[in-house]
Amino acid sequence: MIIVYGIPNCDTVKKARAWLTGHGVAHEFHDFKKQGVPGEKLPAWGKAVGWDKLLNRQGTTWRKLDAAAQASAADAAGAQALMLANPSVIKRPVVEWANRITVGFDAKSWAEQL
């Protein structure tokens, strides 16, 4: 089963979910706001895509963090702690496919994945 992790009001998550539904792809949605960030999954996500890709340093939440909080994400442990405390700093959506993990939405690569 494909699992899409994210925040429901995120435009990219909306596009990704609509794309999956439009292509008849069964999937589950895990809402970071309601269900929290699955802390046990973060190490695997970081290993699969890299912490730099998983941590969204371009978003509003990141820009609102103070310098000390941003600096705490300098290594994997610090980035993981920051993501657990501030789910909105995780680039979205994180998708667990049958054989890999992706971050973000790219219709072309998703079509190839299927």
pLDDT for 50 equals 93
Dump pLDDT digits (tens) for 16-43. 999 999 999 999 999 999 999 999 999 9
Model pTM score: 0.92
**Residue type at 61?**
T
Domain of residue 102 covers 2-113
For 81, counting Cβ atoms within 10 Å of its Cβ (0-12 exposed, 13-18 middle, 19+ buried), the class is: middle
Active site residue 110: no
Q: Which is the catalytic residue, given 4, 5, 6, 10?
A: 10
Q: Which residues pair with 29 in a beta bridge?
A: 4
pLDDT for 84 equals 94
Cβ neighbours around 110 below 10 Å, total = 18
Q: What is the mean pLDDT of the chain?
A: 94
Quick one: which H or E segment has residue 75? none
Dump pLDDT digits (tens) for 60-109. 999 999 999 999 999 999 999 999 999 999 999 999 998 899 999 999 99
Phi, psi dihedral angles at 92 (to 5 degrees) = -125, 155
Question: Domain tally for the chain?
Answer: 1
12: domain CATH number is 3.40.30.10
